[in-house]
Amino acid sequence: MGPKQALPVSEKVAMDIEGKRAVIVGGGSGLAKASAELLAKCGARVAILDLPGSAGAAVAADIGAAAAFIPCDILDHEGTESAVHDAARLLGGIDIAANVAGGGGGSPRRTIDATGPYPLERFRHTIEANIVASFNLSRLEALHMAKATPNADGERGVIINTSSIAAFGGPVGMVGYAAAKAGVAGLSQTMARDLAPYGIRVMAIAPSMFDTGILKDLDDGQKAALLTETLFPKRMGLPSDFALLVKAIIENPMLNGGTIRLDAGTRRAVKDDLGDQLF
């Protein structure tokens, strides 16, 4: 396929979600689940990829005929390739991809502490679950997007990866997670340049504290303590907040090659809560 030729710009060049084919990775819960539900409500057909033991099948069933569940472990790279190809075959192609699965890297730990150096395998696992998995998913999704018929703007698809505000200044003890999420932001920017000739946009979203996963189980006092550096609103992010940004990125063709902070103005100060781990 040669370089994309300039096309006349119509009055409306935004990607219309109605009738589009979307792959949502991690769609069995949290941010990805909300995204799958919103896109289906907007008329997209959705393939939910998540672990075999996840609630992905139940989410797809709740959405109805517009959704299907495909088991996928993002750490199984060959299995992921099969899952993405199955999704494309089921949907008849891919126009939208939201890659929301990843890993947090476990409890905070310094690069060195009283027990020794940070475990290399733990660092490697966090990189695999975020950078490697995001790249693997994106390259496979892009291959199918490149075969789509372009719209009036020459656009064939959009890929949305998930970074974190930790990418721009992670807390003490989260070096692996911060490095991994910074990597997701970096790969998304450069991949947008790679895929521009095919009319494929690539963006990343960097959320702050969201009311999902382990944070959802905290009490109000614990949540308030986490929000001391948040400007407004003074609350945890909601899955619906994330889904609305996914929708906005899809619909706005000028959003490309960047990472959007979804953080209510949060700017982390350098705080050290691991002093007792020093040797």
- Per-residue pLDDT at 93: 98
Q: Which burial class, exposed, middle or buried, applies to 271 when counting CB atoms under 10 A from its CB (0-12, 13-18, 19+)?
A: exposed
Q: Is 48 helix (H, G, I), strand (E, B) or coil?
A: strand
Q: Which two tokens stand for residue 226?
A: 């986490």
pLDDT for 171 beyond 90: no
What is the C-alpha R_g of the chain? 19
pTM greater than the 0.85 cutoff: yes
- Given the residues 69, 123, 177, 198, the one annotated as active site: 177
Q: For 17-45, how does the pLDDT look when each residue is reduced to its tens digit (9 = 90+)?
A: 999 999 999 999 999 999 999 999 999 99
Of residues 129, 133, 143, the one with CA closest to residue 80: 133
| 267 against 184, higher pLDDT | 184
Residue with tokens 């974190």: 164
> Which residue segments constitute the domains of the chain, with CATH numbers given?
21-107+123-267 (3.40.50.720)
**Separation CA 76–CA 54 (nearest Å):** 16
At 71-104, the pLDDT tens digits run 999 999 999 999 999 999 999 999 999 999 888 7
Active site residue 118: no
Q: Cα-flanking dihedrals φ and ψ of residue 237, to 5°? A: -65, 150
